Amino acid sequence: MAFTLPDLPYAYDALAPVISEEIMRLHHTKHHQGYVDKLNNAVQKYPDLLGDKSLDYLLTNIDSLPEDIRTTVRNNGGGHYNHSLFWQVMSPKNIVGQSTTGSSQPYHNQPSGELLNIINDRYGDFNTFVEEFTTKALGLFGSGWVWLMPNADIITTPNQDSPLMLGPVEPILGLDVWEHAYYLDYNNDRSNYIKNWWRVVNWQFVQTRSRK
Ligand code: MN
């Protein structure tokens, strides 16, 4: 069974002005579609061995895959997994205000319940968590991802590597810091992209993942 591009759970322009329609359309229909297509091409070389394997299986067993497709699955299977999660951890419903520059407003968009307790236990308060996550995102050289794990660890992966390559624990929140995720809107200002990205995090969805 071939892997397929999932639909966005909102319209392409729904996250504007935080993320423009142009970026969302390119990111979804070109970048993510490209990962899906290249993943399918690689897996289809081994129909008997890999034809019925899930994406989670491919990523958690990346080091045992046939060598000639291992890097392709790593980059494109990881890309498929990471982006499929990324679309879901964002939502237009918490966007407040129109400015994408210099916002000093407090982080009005926050988790609650058990997840907030876990974050508070680890970081003291939500704003400190946001600062630590942001610091890791800004410190990540080149292209990669920043993740919140169910135990409140914040980890980074390079390129399109997935946390599932490190172990069987799924991340609950992920931030794409490849330039293709923000350059058209923010140029090289990763800091401003991240500052605004917090406005569209779908904490209700992240909380459902933390309870799995
Ligand atoms: Mn991306």
What average pLDDT is seen over the chain?
93
Q: How far, in Å, CA of 189 to CA of 38, rounded?
A: 30
Q: From the CA of 59, how far away is ligand 1's center (Å)?
A: 18
Helices (H), 17-169: 21-26, 33-43, 47-50, 55-60, 67-88, 113-123, 126-139
Query: 99 burial class (0-12, 13-18, 19+ CB within 10 angstroms)?
Result: exposed
Q: What is the pLDDT of residue 104?
A: 46
Please state the rounded mean pLDDT for residues 18-24. 97
| pLDDT > 70 in the chain, percent | 93
Q: From the CA of 153, how far away is ligand 1's center (Å)?
A: 22
Q: How far, in Å, CA of 158 to CA of 148, rounded?
A: 15
Helix (H) or strand (E) holding 175: strand 173-176
3-state secondary structure of 154: strand
Q: From the CA of 38, how far away is ligand 1's center (Å)?
A: 15
pTM: 0.94
Q: What is the pLDDT of residues 38-88, one digit of tens each?
A: 999 999 999 999 999 999 999 999 999 999 999 999 999 999 999 999 999
Q: From the CA of 18, how far away is ligand 1's center (Å)?
A: 15
pLDDT band at 183 (very low <50, low <70, confident <90, very high): very high
Asked if 37 contacts 22 with a C-beta cutoff of 8 angstroms, the reply is no
Q: From the CA of 198, how far away is ligand 1's center (Å)?
A: 17
150 pLDDT more than 50? yes
- Nearest CA to 33 out of 74, 70, 73, 3 is that of 3
Please state the rounded mean pLDDT for residues 198-202. 94
Q: From the CA of 16, how far away is ligand 1's center (Å)?
A: 17
Q: From the CA of 20, how far away is ligand 1's center (Å)?
A: 14
3-state secondary structure of 196: helix
Please state the rounded mean pLDDT for residues 127-131. 96
Q: For 32-52, b where at least 16 C-beta lie within 10 A, e where not — what string?
A: beebbebbeebbeeeeeebee
Q: How far, in Å, CA of 17 to CA of 96, rounded?
A: 10
Q: From the CA of 117, how far away is ligand 1's center (Å)?
A: 30
